[in-house]
Amino acid sequence: MKSAASAASVVPMSTPEAPAGQPATPEPDSRREAIIELSHTGVTFETRKGNDLVALDDFNLTIYREEIVSLVGPSGCGKSTVLRILAGLQKPTTGDFWIGGGKTRQGFSEVAIVFQRPTLLPWRNVLDNVLYPARVLKGRADKDDRDRARALLALVGLEEMADRMPHELSGGMQQRASIARSLILDPKILLMDEPFGALDALTREDLQLDLLEIHERTRKTILLVTHSISEAVLLSDRVAVMSARPGRLQDLITVDIPKPRGPDSTARPDFHTYSQRIRDDIFGPRTKRDRAQ
Amino acid sequence: MTPALRKIILPVATFLAFLGVWQFLSYAMEIPIYLLPSPVDIFHGGTRLGMTMLTNTGETLKTILIGFACACLVGIPLGVLVSVNRTVSEMIYPLIVFLNAIPIIAIAPILVVIFGTDMTTRLIIVTLTCFFPIMVATASGILDTPSEMLDLARVAGASTMTEILTVRLPHAVTFIFSGLRIGVTVAVVGAVVAEFVNANKGLGFLVTSSTAQFAIPTATACVVMLAIVSVLLYEAVNWIHRGFFGWSIKSNVGD
Ligand SMILES: Nc1ncnc2c1ncn2[C@@H]1O[C@H](COP(=O)(O)OP(=O)(O)OP(=O)(O)O)[C@@H](O)[C@H]1O
Ligand SMILES: [Mg+2]
């Protein structure tokens, strides 16, 4: 109170002026509520030889509720590291981060993760795998949890597979199960590290559309790491492009393709404009000669 | 002939042929019974004992099973402890390796002096001989857990204990069972050593006492019985593995 009053007395003009006229901040910032904030976050690994490896340097990113943000960049630029920080698997060596305003975490009910590989536990059937986060957090899964797990399996098209063992499922089905598992405790945030990377093109397309549909229904905040530029454009509200070592935020692109999106969205001219911009960010603009041939 | 049938018939036929050749040679060359009894002699040596053979087998089996159970109760938790906690590992692992390096046969008589001539001493000897492979197998299984599974458990909010119970131990099951398979056969050896130095019953005792009376066929029959017990126990461990932890066995071709 005191500081606000004194600030107002020193610069009386600035405070009432700001919200009225200029849209100084980008459009989403002013309307929405931040749910993830990374501020000047850096991670340095000590290698065996004793020299330091800067995996992430001065990384700043704010993500808003219900948004889908993609993280793209060359291999080894620190995308997974960002996700591991947010998942609580990696401590930042410099800077700071906030999730939902705080730092306490309650397992998958707060932040859930989908890895590149399905990572199902081979000794549990599909249903029990989906229930695993609930078991860890509450000690046991009750009837409600089971019903929810079955509903989620139906959502990803696996209702008939509930009692199978993971090895009886195809790779795509396993990844679907792991997506269902990530949603079991209704997390606020979904972290996905190249979730479709190991899949064939057809399954991949299928799961991308599934993800859009799941997002429509559940309105989760999703942070997605991907190597596919078209996947990033198709799925995201914003695309964060990272530069190679040391990993930094290079560009932040708002994708204004109307929703709901689907296979048709990829045919739009602006889809290609966005894709080209990301490509240019990563590889540098191509020379005229390259383009002519 | 089906492949399954082949698997049984071929080794049995070979074994029978081996016995036949042995029988024929001891008959043809007139090998004295105290040097090498023929299969028929051994069979008679065993049947002469009658019920004694069975009750003593029971005694030995009891020693093996209780000692083996103790080894599991010690070996598995110790394996977990050693692989999960670095300090504990540094504190006790070298001592355990040292303990294992001591030849049990050499300290068995000393243990008899310390603990007396009853079941306790025999169980200690059996446990000491077979807990080490079980512990080492458990530890390598725990350490083998894929880091992605551990990441999953951690993001799900698992405590160290939950992580061990829900991820590490189940993953280690395959490893633990290979430790148990080795352990159970070593336990048979441990039980025999224990009965050599300290017993008035059991197959190990029968072997020493009949040898002392030059009843070589009887002693050999007891040895055969021990081999049968060992094979059956090995198969029992396999059976438990298959029956209760089937998921941990990679696609078994041909079964
Ligand atoms: N535990 C670790 N110890 C040492 N260096 C590490 C460790 N984890 C990651 N790194 C290094 O940090 C850098 C960033 O790694 P990260 O896994 O975040 O890259 P990435 O962007 O996800 O790459 P990719 O697209 O290939 O998955 C890499 O150079 C990697 O070698
Ligand atoms: Mg990665």
Residue B22 belongs to some domain of the structure: no
Residues by chain with Cβ below 5 Å of ion ligand 2: A 80
Domain count, chain A: 1
pLDDT-derived band at B250 (thresholds 50, 70, 90) equals low
Residue A123 belongs to some domain of the structure: no
Dist CA B82 CA B74 (whole Å) = 12
Q: Do B151 and A89 touch (CB under 8 A)?
A: yes
| The predicted structure's pLDDT at residue A1 | 37
Q: Do A115 and B248 touch (CB under 8 A)?
A: no
Q: Do B148 and A136 touch (CB under 8 A)?
A: no
ipTM here: 0.81
pLDDT tens sequence across A42-76: 888 888 887 888 888 888 999 998 999 999 998 88
Please choose, from the candidates A157, B240, A82, B20, the residue with its C-alpha nearest in 3D space to the C-alpha of residue B12: B20
List of chain B residues whose C-beta atoms are within 8 Å of the C-beta of residue A133: 156-157
Dist CA A227 CA B143 (whole Å) = 31
| Percent over 90 (pLDDT), chain B | 58
Please report which ligand is nearest the Cα atom of A93. 1
pLDDT-derived band at B133 (thresholds 50, 70, 90) equals very high
Q: Is the pLDDT of residue A114 over 60?
A: yes
Summary mean pLDDT of chain A: 82
| The predicted structure's pLDDT at residue A281 | 84
Residue A46 belongs to some domain of the structure: yes
Among A100-114, B1-15, B59-73, B194-208, the minimum mean pLDDT is found in: A100-114
| The predicted structure's pLDDT at residue B255 | 37
3-class state of residue B237 by DSSP: helix
pLDDT-derived band at A14 (thresholds 50, 70, 90) equals very low
Residue A84 belongs to some domain of the structure: yes
A26 within ligand 1 shell (Cβ under 6 A): no
Please state the pTM of the whole predicted model. 0.82
Q: Is the pLDDT of residue B192 over 90?
A: yes
| The predicted structure's pLDDT at residue A31 | 55
Q: Is the pLDDT of residue B120 over 50?
A: yes
pLDDT-derived band at A231 (thresholds 50, 70, 90) equals very high
Q: Is the pLDDT of residue A106 over 80?
A: no
Among A275-279, A284-288, B70-74, the minimum mean pLDDT is found in: A284-288
Q: Is the pLDDT of residue A225 over 90?
A: yes
pLDDT-derived band at A6 (thresholds 50, 70, 90) equals very low
- CA-CA-CA-CA torsion sign (B230, B233, B239, B241): negative
Residue A8 belongs to some domain of the structure: no
Residue A246: cis peptide before it, omega within 30 degrees of 0: yes
pLDDT-derived band at B253 (thresholds 50, 70, 90) equals very low
Residue B195 has which token pair? 């009965």
State the residue range of the domain holding B55: 46-251
Residue B7 belongs to some domain of the structure: no
Residue A257 belongs to some domain of the structure: yes
Among A102-111, A119-128, A181-190, B238-247, the minimum mean pLDDT is found in: A102-111
Q: Whose CA is nearest to atom 11 of ligand 1?
A: A55
Domain count, chain B: 1
Dist CA A23 CA A75 (whole Å) = 36
Q: Is the pLDDT of residue B90 over 50?
A: yes
**In a 10 Å sphere around its CB, with 0-12 CB exposed, 13-18 middle and 19+ buried, how is residue A175 labelled?**
buried
Residue B221 belongs to some domain of the structure: yes
Residue B21 belongs to some domain of the structure: no
Q: Whose CA is nearest to atom 1 of ligand 1?
A: A45
Residue A260: cis peptide before it, omega within 30 degrees of 0: yes
Q: Is the pLDDT of residue A24 over 70?
A: no
Q: Is the pLDDT of residue B48 over 90?
A: no
Residue A66 belongs to some domain of the structure: yes
Q: Is the pLDDT of residue A18 over 60?
A: no
| The predicted structure's pLDDT at residue B241 | 93
| The predicted structure's pLDDT at residue A103 | 58
Higher-scoring residue by pLDDT: A290, B206: B206
Q: Do A113 and B151 touch (CB under 8 A)?
A: yes
Q: Is the pLDDT of residue A206 over 60?
A: yes
pLDDT tens sequence across B212-237: 888 889 999 999 999 999 999 999 99
| The predicted structure's pLDDT at residue B97 | 86
A80 within ligand 1 shell (Cβ under 6 A): yes
List of chain B residues whose C-beta atoms are within 8 Å of the C-beta of residue A89: 151, 154-155
Which chain B residue lies closest to A136 (C-alpha atoms)?
Answer: B158
- Planar angle of CA A151, A157, A159, nearest 5 degrees: 55
Higher-scoring residue by pLDDT: A290, A2: A290
List of chain B residues whose C-beta atoms are within 8 Å of the C-beta of residue A223: none
Residue A21 has which token pair? 């006229």
Q: Whose CA is nearest to atom 20 of ligand 1?
A: A76
Among A91-105, A190-204, B91-105, the minimum mean pLDDT is found in: A91-105
Q: Is the pLDDT of residue B134 over 60?
A: yes
Compute the average pLDDT of residues B29-40: 86
Dist CA B139 CA B35 (whole Å) = 46
Q: Do B157 and A117 touch (CB under 8 A)?
A: no
Atom of ligand 1 nearest to the CA of A46: 4
The segment with the largest mean pLDDT, out of A91-100, A204-213, B126-135, is: B126-135
Contact A199, A175 (CB under 8 A): yes
| The predicted structure's pLDDT at residue B88 | 84
List of chain B residues whose C-beta atoms are within 8 Å of the C-beta of residue A107: 155-158
- Ligand 1 center to residue A94 CA distance, Å? 17
pLDDT-derived band at A9 (thresholds 50, 70, 90) equals very low
State the residue range of the domain holding A90: 32-101+220-293
3-class state of residue A10 by DSSP: helix
| The predicted structure's pLDDT at residue B139 | 93
The CATH number assigned to the domain holding B57 equals 1.10.3720.10
Residue B58 belongs to some domain of the structure: yes
Q: Do B148 and A119 touch (CB under 8 A)?
A: yes
* H or E, element range at B44: helix B39-49
pLDDT-derived band at A180 (thresholds 50, 70, 90) equals very high
Residue B122 CA: distances (Å) to CA of A156, B47, B198, B202, B229: 58, 27, 7, 11, 18
| The predicted structure's pLDDT at residue B118 | 85
List of chain A residues whose C-beta atoms are within 8 Å of the C-beta of residue B173: 123
**Chain B positions touching chain A (beta carbons under 8 Å):** 146, 148-149, 151-158, 162, 166-167, 170, 173, 245, 247-248
Q: What is the DSSP letter of B168?
A: I
| The predicted structure's pLDDT at residue A104 | 58
Which chain A residue lies closest to B170 (C-alpha atoms)?
Answer: A123
Compute the average pLDDT of residues A16-21: 39
Q: Whose CA is nearest to atom 12 of ligand 1?
A: A55
The CATH number assigned to the domain holding A280 equals 3.40.50.300
A79 within ligand 1 shell (Cβ under 6 A): yes
Residue A230 belongs to some domain of the structure: yes
